[in-house]
Amino acid sequence: MSEIMRADNVSMIFGGLTAVDNISLTMEDNEILSLIGPNGAGKTTFFNMLTGVYQPTFGTITFYGENITKLKPYERVAKGISRTFQNIRLFSSMTTLENLLVAHPKCNSENIGRVLLGGKKLKKARQEIVEECEEILEIVGLKDKEDELATNLSYGKQRLLEIGRALATNPKLVLLDEPGAGMNSMEKEELSTLIRYITQKMDKKVLLIEHDMRFVMGISDRILVLDHGELIANGKPEEIQQNQMVIEAYLGKGMTDEE
């Protein structure tokens, strides 16, 4: 098993508030890793450090052996990290297909000169991009909606589109921020299948943040639990279920496993 990503002693301090306190973790190959924890545990902050939205106050982040701590989000995308958002951030005035197209590295890096000159070669290159994106749409199950505006899709479909968009960047690792939020149980079932497909058939790694315990337990190979910015547990789903600290963290805060 090789190491994909690791965080070493990462902390994030906003003003006087320590949102993430000295967390270290490693993500191994061939595992679906999940990050859970009660509200305000620092999950999203940690997530944002992995994607580059925040620069950690202390600590380093390594991706396939390369130090990416100082890299900006778009630079991390080039390294192969892509993400979805907790509050959906689609390009709402664009169509479903366009949301994917624009995420495709060959599309958004088109050379201006070539664009202005036009020509057959460009046409052919574009055809390939469109085909690749349509393939991804097929995978996330939105092929029949490809010409709809993103804003007209149902909530659950918008979440799927975000995953599709993340996949279109041709990533090695996909970070999913609460992908199941707002979905009904049937949609969640489909989501699980999709995530497994992504890891097994497309050979992408997945790290996800989730609230829904049942969903997380069902899909994860390993689970990390954050509380008050600290890592309180790390292990297989069964182990986490038994972990006293985790139960306290959740029940003590009056949280149930359903949002």
Partner 1 sequence: MFVQQLINGITVGGIYALIALGYTMVYGILKIVNFAHGDVFMIGGFMGLILAQTTNLPIWIAYPLAMLITALIGVLIERICYRPIRLHGADALAILISALGVSIFLENFAQLVWGTETHAYVQKIQRTAYNIAGITLSNIQIGVIVLCIILMIVLYLVVNKTKMGMAMRATSQSITSAQLMGINTEKVIALTFGVGSALACVAGILVGTYYDAVYPLIGYSYGLKAFAAAILGGIGSVPGAMLGGFLLGIVETLGAGYISTGYRDAFAFGILILVLLFRPSGLLGKKHVDKV
Partner 2 sequence: MMQKIKKIKKPLAVIGILFLLLFPVIITSSYYLHVMILAGIYVVLSLSLNLITGYTGQLCLGHAAFFGIGAYAGALLMVNVHMNFFFALICSFIISGIFGLLLGIPALRLRGDYLAIVTLGFGEIVHLVFVNWTELTNGPMGIRSIPGPSLFGIELDGNQEFYYLILIITALVLFLLNRLVNSGFGMAMQTIKADEIAAESIGIYPVKYKLIAFILSSGLAGLAGCFYASYISYISPTTFVYNTSVTILAMVVLGGLGSLTGSVIGGVVLTLLPEVLRSISDYRMIFFGALMIIMMIFKPEGFWGVSKRVKNIYKIKAGGAQNERDYESR
Q: How far apart are CA 167 and CA 160, in angstroms?
A: 11
To 5 degrees, how large is the angle CA 206–CA 209–CA 213? Answer: 110
Taking CB under 8 A as the criterion, the residue among 4, 168, 206, 219 binding partner 2 is: 168
Quick check: 252 binds partner 2 (CB under 8 A)?
no
Taking CB under 8 A as the criterion, the residue among 85, 110, 143, 148 binding partner 1 is: 85
Number of residues that bind partner 1 (CB under 8 A): 5
Taking CB under 8 A as the criterion, the residue among 1, 17, 112, 186 binding partner 2 is: 112
Helix (H) or strand (E) segment spanning residue 23: strand 17-28
44: partner contacted, choices partner 2, partner 1, none (Cβ within 5-8 A by kind): partner 1
> How far apart, in Å, are the Cα atoms of 50 and each of 26, 70, 164?
12, 11, 20
Binding mask 79-98 toward partner 2 (x if CB under 8 A, else -) reads ---xx-x---xxxxxxx-xx
Write the DSSP symbol of residue 50: H
Letter string b/e over residues 110-133, b meaning 16 or more CB atoms within 10 A of that residue's CB: eeeeeeeeeeeeeeeeeeebbebb
Residues 121-150 that bind partner 2 (CB under 8 A): 123, 126-127, 129-131, 134, 146-147, 149
Taking CB under 8 A as the criterion, the residue among 11, 21, 53, 234 binding partner 1 is: 53
SS3 of residue 208 by DSSP: strand
Q: Which residues of the chain form contacts with partner 2 (CB under 8 A)? A: 51-53, 72-75, 77-78, 82-83, 85, 89-95, 97-98, 101-112, 115-116, 118, 123, 126-127, 129-131, 134, 146-147, 149, 165-166, 168-169
